[in-house]
Structure 1
Amino acid sequence: MTRTGNSAGGAALAVGFAAMGAALSAVDAAIVRALDGGVHPLTITFSRAVFGALAVAPVALLRTDLMKTAYPLRQHILRAGLKLVALACFFAAFARGPLTDVTAIAFTSPIFVVIGAALMLGERLGPLKLLALAVGFVGTMLVVSPAGAGVTLAMGFALTGAVVQAVIQLMLKSMSSGDRTITLVLWNLFLTVPMALVLALPFLSWPSGWQMGLLAVQGVLGALCMGLMTHAFSLADASIVAPVDFLRLPLVAALGWLLFGEIANPATWVGGALICAAALIASRASRRARD
């Protein structure tokens, strides 16, 4: 049977879902910045998990069969734990660094997927993949150079989040073939809540009404974004879906300028473009290897 993602209709749906996910991710970053450091990143991670879980809880209660999974619980726990670390890193980065610079660094994740696939799955590093690594490295150096954001704690958090996100994508690549999108989303959200609570307990404080409203919106948007992107990757190859996610960079830049008066440096735009190009090259190389 031909997979839905191999048809033109499936690819179009995947692109649409990925575009919506990119837009929601941009809003997510803006919400973290709007909190202006008033809420600890681990508290944001916990509240996102809680509100996201509440948003999908009715679905799980009405359709208990959706919780049936082909994978052992420990695999879901590991993925949820890694997702928790990635989110906390990105939230810390968005709270402390320029939105556009942090987003550009976040796009190095597909490059780390290439490295991870070579180290963990034994995939061969051909000329295209090596080119992707070289271009991505140059782009990253531009963003973190003195002409860009510079080497800061925020950039360190962003880079760490990108590495962890790459590991998650490698796991998701295999798990999406055995479980439905909604199943992966439900397990991730429900397992993240208790894990995030343990980490956030030392930093928990009662937010103001304005902060609570932003956290609630972010939690719902986060659940929607996770579902959209997971489903997009299940409908089409990563080489089709991944480029659409690059919409986040101009969207985040626009929100940063409109809401916070941030203007990205030329080095950030050039470096971000190189990182996006590297990710595209890596996706193309992976697709060639499968053909």
Structure 2
Amino acid sequence: MTALIDPEKFKNPDVTAKGERRARVVFNALETLWFNTGSLCNIECENCYILSSPTADHFVYLSPEDMAPYLDEVDEIAEGPIEIAFTGGEPYMNPDIFRLSEMALERGHSLLILTNAMKPLMRPRVQKGVIDLNKRFPGKMTLRVSLDHFSEKGHDAERGAGSFAAGVAGMNWLTENGVALNIAGRAMFSEDEATDRAGYGALIAKQGWDIDAMDPAQLILFPEMDEKVDVPEITSKCWGILDVSPNAMMCSSSRMVVRRKGDGRACVLACTLLWDDEQFETGKTLTKSLEPVALNHPHCAKFCVLGGASCSA
């Protein structure tokens, strides 16, 4: 992990550097269960949240056998269908992606798949599988495409030359085939949200995508996460001071299943973003992972509490 500007911060899960009681988030109700399908990706971004790349294998491909027990637990924990979400890496590189998708959809859950909409998606076999699932489970599957900026220059600076054109082509193909889409973008420090939404809105209109840029559930703008930028620790008093509810935090309603390289079985993480910090690995089963989560990481402060971001709609 990158060294913090203030190394005294985020050391103790119970108290802050100033000795104040650290904020915790109590699990409320399961709304989204994330599955990391594997850390391999067809590209390597400049600032990947989870260090995915064409050689990154810290998370191995998730198998149907890995996934099945967690879906059984969902049936026990949740009061009805929830959102099942796949992230990576690039999910469409997992050879079992369509069986994994079927397993979620067959149980009545909605399915969200994060993708860069590039070459892995555009292979004929994968295109055929996407069309098939969308026809068999109408209205139940959404693809969230990572489009870091509304300009080719901004997006390609993060993902490499040609990635914007490839992603736009993938989104056009998905639109032509009636697949529901939304966009995950990155809020750039030099722009405000209104500028970003207007820029994406112009791109969406030009391409004819069925996405509302003003809807934060259809265009999700994530703040940057840089551990070299100093952020305040969140105390238990901050909820009232900031007028933010702990129930709005991702870890009150979601968990992520991963399988680490060399591990005999999958495990559960409290957060989709804090994948390399052992204090956020909450157990091997979903049932045992629902203890309160101490906000003992700078990303908890910047991304969730202060940034107001969520990986779920």
TM-score by length of 2: 0.28
Is the strand fraction higher in 1 or 2?
A: 2
Work out which structure has the larger RCO, using CA pairs closer than 8 Å and 6 or more positions apart in sequence: 1
